[in-house]
Amino acid sequence: MSECPWHAPRDAAQQTPPFEPPWPRPHDRKPGLWARFRLGWHSWVHTLCARAYGMKMGETRLPRLAMFMVNELPLVHRVLDDAEGDFPKHWLLDDLLRPLIGQGVFVANGAEWQRQRAMINPAFVHTNMARAFPVMMAAAQDLVARLKAMDLSRPVDVDPLMTHVAADVIFRTLFSRALTGAEAMVIHRAFTAYQAHAQRATTLGLYGLPRMGFGALARRQAARIRGVFAPIIAARMAARAQGVAHVPPDLLDSLLAARDPKTGQGFDESTLIDQVAVLFLAGHETTASALAWSLYLLAEVPVWQDRLRDEMAQVTGGASLAHGHLRGMEAMRNVFRESLRLYPPVSFLPRVATHAIAIRDKAIVPGDMIVAAPWLVHRNPQHWALPHAFDPDRFTTPQGIESARQAWIPFGRGPRVCVGAGFATQEAQVVLAAVLRTFRLEAARPPDLVSRLTLRPRGGVWLRFAPL
């Protein structure tokens, strides 16, 4: 049997030592309350000490909150798989996100969550893979055109470019039109500022301190983001009221047609904007971050760029990418998986205890926060060999496949698992393919990172692009 080039055994010269991309070095000892406040003001992963990465469960007491971090797999699974509703989403998420997404499906709990899901589930037909493929291709081609039009003699920050392409994909899926450059800029800037203000407002709240206007600043940025799509929704609702149908129907149409199975009621305008905001934000911010990190990792390890180009050539035979090719692009999927492992865009999943419960030796009381953190689970040496190293091939070994099943949770797991995982993976394949087929990448400098609502590069991801 001839050897498949992208499953070939690793070339020792190329892979040893494996590349270890930047991550915040942990503290030797758990920082004290004031140090945690100062560090957490910017980014929660910067508060972690070395022991946290291998611990089974940790406890942190803040003035307004007791927080338990679960890191042992059975506990992580118990919290996320929660069938009894013992661990619904924590109010902290609601606090962080309400100005942006109201009480949309991402933060709702219990019967209200079930009602919203029943209403919006039919709309997910628009995120069907074959249907979404041409939309993704069009957005990826526009990205390449934007790159070609730039001055490539200098390093380029791919962070806003990835926000643009990911927001463009979800915008086209929702509204059947491309996102403009001006809209993309508003969204990127406003969301970056929103994350900083919301994080500060919440941190102050957790320490029992006044919010010093950060809540109002966050609300202002949220209004700028919602202002991008509110007029589109209002116009579509007005047209519908006059009997003018949008052809062909898109995700927004399906949300407009959604009905509560019990009452037959649709969404009112403000709740509809909330749901659109959930899909828009959940659907692009995370994917944009994952794409920026994927490009950075590929830029640092050029041998992986070559492997992906070889894989594409093999699978497509040099033709343009078709939906049917994606299945065969396993190395590409593994690069994306590894990027999500190292830099999970949703780095912590906060839940709240609804009743008194003992976990290990901890007595948890109602209202305590229980966190499962993809950031820690993905870097726990008990689950992953060389956990801080970039090694997409780990997903092809029996041990890696088992780790992926148990300890790879970038999309969460259980009843609240991400509904867009397949969509995001396909989108990543399409965008990475379009970039790698056109350019050779080189990292200009290692990026810094910051973890707030999402884990993002700080100060941009600066790469050099050389046309192929």
Which residues of the shown chain bind ligand HEM in the complex (CB under 6 A)? Answer: 89, 105-106, 117, 127, 278-279, 282-283, 286-287, 290, 345-346, 349, 410-412, 416, 418-420, 423-424
Q: Which is nearer to ligand HEM, 8 or 417 (CB)?
A: 417
Tell me how far, at minimum, the Cβ of 50 lies from ligand HEM, in Å: 25
Determine the Cα–Cα distance for residues 181 and 111; give it in Å rounded to an integer: 40
User: Hunting for tokens 């994350």 — which residue is that?
Assistant: 195
Q: Which is nearer to ligand HEM, 217 or 284 (CB)?
A: 284
Tell me how far, at minimum, the Cβ of 67 lies from ligand HEM, in Å: 15
Q: Which is nearer to ligand HEM, 105 or 222 (CB)?
A: 105
Cα–Cα distances in angstroms (integers) from residue 304 to residues 19, 189, 327, 390, in the given order: 11, 31, 18, 11
Determine the Cα–Cα distance for residues 271 and 287; give it in Å rounded to an integer: 24
User: Hunting for tokens 């640092």 — which residue is that?
Assistant: 300
User: What is the phi/psi pair of residue 62, to 5°?
Assistant: -105, 165
158-175 helix and 129-148 helix, angle to the nearest 10 degrees: 140
User: What is the phi/psi pair of residue 250, to 5°?
Assistant: -125, -170
Residue 440 and residue 463 in contact, taking contact as beta carbons nearer than 8 Å: no
Q: Which is nearer to ligand HEM, 136 or 217 (CB)?
A: 136
Determine the Cα–Cα distance for residues 133 and 127; give it in Å rounded to an integer: 9
For residue 141, the tally of other CB atoms under 10 A from its CB is 14
302-316 helix and 421-436 helix, angle to the nearest 10 degrees: 100
Q: Which is nearer to ligand HEM, 217 or 347 (CB)?
A: 347
Tell me how far, at minimum, the Cβ of 191 lies from ligand HEM, in Å: 15
Q: Which is nearer to ligand HEM, 290 or 295 (CB)?
A: 290
DSSP secondary structure of 28-58: SS---HHHHHHHHTT-GGGG-BGGGGT-SEE
Tell me how far, at minimum, the Cβ of 105 lies from ligand HEM, in Å: 5
Count of residues for the chain?
468
Determine the Cα–Cα distance for residues 60 and 416; give it in Å rounded to an integer: 25
Tell me how far, at minimum, the Cβ of 441 lies from ligand HEM, in Å: 20
Tell me how far, at minimum, the Cβ of 258 lies from ligand HEM, in Å: 14
Tell me how far, at minimum, the Cβ of 458 lies from ligand HEM, in Å: 18
Q: Which is nearer to ligand HEM, 27 or 117 (CB)?
A: 117
Radius of gyration of the chain (CA): 22
**Closest-CB residue for ligand HEM?**
420
269-300 helix and 330-342 helix, angle to the nearest 10 degrees: 100
Determine the Cα–Cα distance for residues 467 and 87; give it in Å rounded to an integer: 50
Q: Which is nearer to ligand HEM, 287 or 429 (CB)?
A: 287
Tell me how far, at minimum, the Cβ of 274 lies from ligand HEM, in Å: 12
Q: Which is nearer to ligand HEM, 283 or 457 (CB)?
A: 283
Determine the Cα–Cα distance for residues 154 and 461; give it in Å rounded to an integer: 13
Tell me how far, at minimum, the Cβ of 418 lies from ligand HEM, in Å: 3
Tell me how far, at minimum, the Cβ of 425 lies from ligand HEM, in Å: 8
Q: Which is nearer to ligand HEM, 170 or 217 (CB)?
A: 170
* Structure-block tokens of residue 398: 């029996």
